[in-house]
Amino acid sequence: MQFRITVIVIVLLCGAIAIAGCTGTQTSPVSTTPGSGTPAASSGSGSPTATLTTVPTDVLPSQNIVQVDVGEKDYLGIIPVIFQGGMGMNSIKKVDIKLTRADGTTDTATVGTMKGDEIDLQGTRGTGSERGQTDRVEVWVTTNEVQTYKIVDVLREYRSRG
């Protein structure tokens, strides 16, 4: 009799543990406020920023999912941005990119919406040291419904050739 109760308790505990681990949803950084989608024209603020930080990004609706890759900054300071497409690439109107350099200046660009479209951004070059200045790259996509989502917000650090 005790053996049966012990087995039932163990089964219930295992079931409770399995349910507790399986009921949560997988989360990614989500911002409740969509990005503005209207990046400013190239400008220089003139005031250097102490540190660049990223903020959480938006989650695209499942019918609009696309991927944009921001590559590593090379030793010349060039940061490649590639539109990789996705299930929702036909529902994307445009892809805007904003580069904020370590000195506070910003540049904006637009990458095409065809798979493989690429643009190279000129980031901050270092002085040849192992650790150099960091630039921030933000990517917004605008859907055909004219809704804008910030899907990428990353920091790219200068790498030397060595």
Query: What pLDDT sits at residue 102?
Result: 86
CATH architecture of 62-157: Sandwich (2.60)
Q: How remote is the C-alpha of 152 from its chain's centroid?
A: 2
Beta-carbon contacts of 162 under 8 Å, excluding residues fewer than 6 positions away, are 128, 130
pLDDT tens, residue by residue, 93-137: 999 999 998 888 999 999 999 999 999 999 888 665 556 688 999
Q: Which two tokens stand for residue 151?
A: 């899907």
Mean pLDDT of the chain: 78
Using pLDDT thresholds of 50, 70 and 90, give the confidence band for residue 81.
Answer: very high
The DSSP result for 100-114, as a single string, is E-TTS-EEEEEE-SS
Task: Grade residue 43 by pLDDT with cuts at 50, 70 and 90.
Answer: very low
- Report domain extents, the chain: 62-157
Report the C-alpha gap between 19 and 45 in whole angstroms: 52
What angle is formed at CA 113 by the lines to CA 142 and CA 150, rounded to 5 degrees?
35
